[in-house]
Copies of this chain bind each other. A is one copy, B any other.
Amino acid sequence: MSKGSKSQQSEEASFLSEYDPSIYPRPSVAVDITLLAVRDGGLVTWLVKRREPPQRSRWSLPGGFVHMHESLHTAAARVLEEKSGVQGVFLEQLFTFGAVSRDPRTRVLSVAYYALIDVHRLAPLVEARDGVLIGEVVVPWAEETGGPAEVRRADGRALRLAFDHAEQVGMAVARLRGKLAYTPIGFQLLAECFTLRELHAVHEAVLGRPLNKDSFRRRMLSSKELEATGDQQCGVEHRPAALYRFRRRSAT
């Protein structure tokens, strides 16, 4: 159904055969991934220690250069897997950071992604690697104001992240907060089956503020996004809660 005439097609072909992409200087393009999980009522993120300059030995987000033959999303998934072992999680583009001097080597753009994972999947992955840290994410702003996040060690000490990675983490938190209310994204931070209490705790951790329990319950149960598994929690020393599962939309 192409409307182009034959002569137009051959014009395009001859143009392409003569096109030399090397005449203009081009920036390098990297991807950085903020992998978020909920632990102990707060958000945490996966950091790696830089082994090479620039900013060697500083903690940073997992990142790497985009290859010429892969899409940005593919690059982000590859880099996340290489640097953390995480596969098959929610992964979404966040923002492209393009300040002129954000990297001292040369012009480097960073296409920032964020990923979400059930925290229980992280422990074995951390043990399998060196130079890895699960940092606690604290944002000094409310709601979705935005701005850099602070990332702390287990002992509470704040870390200085490499490059603009503190900005990237902050933006990931802001985006996640924004999407939580109107998209089924909270489930990505839990195992397949979960209780309403666990879902409630995840939402509170993401939003950084208490949520009314009753209203949250009603809202979730009437949202048609939850499906009762019929099973119950076990191994708890109180009344076990019903387990739910995220109901995938038929269109997806």
**Residues of chain A at the chain B interface (Cβ within 8 Å):** 3, 8, 11-12, 15-16, 19, 21, 24-29, 52-57, 65-66, 68-73, 75, 93, 95-96, 98-100, 104-107, 109, 111, 160
Contact = CB atoms under 8 A, between A and B. Distances in A.
Contacts of A93: 95-96
Nearest to A111: B96
Given A69-B100, A93-B96, A98-B72, A26 B24 contact: no
Contact of A109 (B29, B69, B106, B160): B29
Pick the most buried of A15, A21, A26, A111: most chain B CB atoms within 10 A of its CB. Answer: A26
A97 to B, nearest CB: 8
A70 to B, nearest CB: 7
B53 A107 contact: no
A95 to B, nearest CB: 6
Contacts of A104: 12, 16
5 contacts: A11-B56, A24-B28, A24-B65, A27-B66, A93-B96
A105 B71 contact: no
Given A21-B105, A26-B29, A71 B53 contact: no
A3 to B, nearest CB: 7
B21 A54 contact: no
